[in-house]
Amino acid sequence: MIEIDTVKAIPSIYYSPEIWTIVPLSTAKELSKSYGFHMYRIKNPPPNRIYYLAKLKNPGPATMKGLSIFEKSASKVIEHLSSILTKEGLQYLDKQD
């Protein structure tokens, strides 16, 4: 087993059809598009990741302003990513089967 921490290394390591890897959907799409890799859905995929926002109980006014901006931006990104994964991502995988 080889563990790598950069996507750019994948094409140089996976040179044979017998070698495989598990990657996030965005990486799989790029490898498929750029290098002709084939994508397959995992029958029993791992559970979705859960992310938490940790913040101080009593943040100061400047921190509150920054947190408010961050939370609004993060909410938009999460909403966008959710639509990509449910609309484009899964449909894309279904077409590869």
Q: What is the pLDDT of residue 69?
A: 92
Whether this prediction's pTM lies above 0.85 is answered by no
* Same structural domain, 51 and 97: yes
Query: What residue numbers bound the domain in which 92 lies?
Result: 46-97
Q: What is the pLDDT of residue 6?
A: 78
pLDDT (average), residues 30-39: 87
* Same structural domain, 79 and 54: yes
**Contact (Cβ atoms closer than 8 angstroms) between residue 23 and residue 11:** no
For the segment 7-33, what is each residue's pLDDT rounded down to a tens digit? 788 888 877 778 888 888 888 888 889
* Same structural domain, 56 and 93: yes
* Same structural domain, 35 and 76: no
More confident residue, 15 or 73: 73
Q: What is the pLDDT of residue 86?
A: 57
Between CA 16 and CA 57 the distance in angstroms is: 53
Three-class secondary structure assignment of the chain: CCCCCCHHHHHHHCCCCCCCCCCCHHHHHHHHHHHCCCCCCCCCCCCCCCCCCCCCCCCCHHHHHHHHHHHHHHHHHHHHHHHHHHHHHHHHHHHHC
- The count of domains in the chain is 2
Residue 96 has pLDDT above 60, yes or no: no
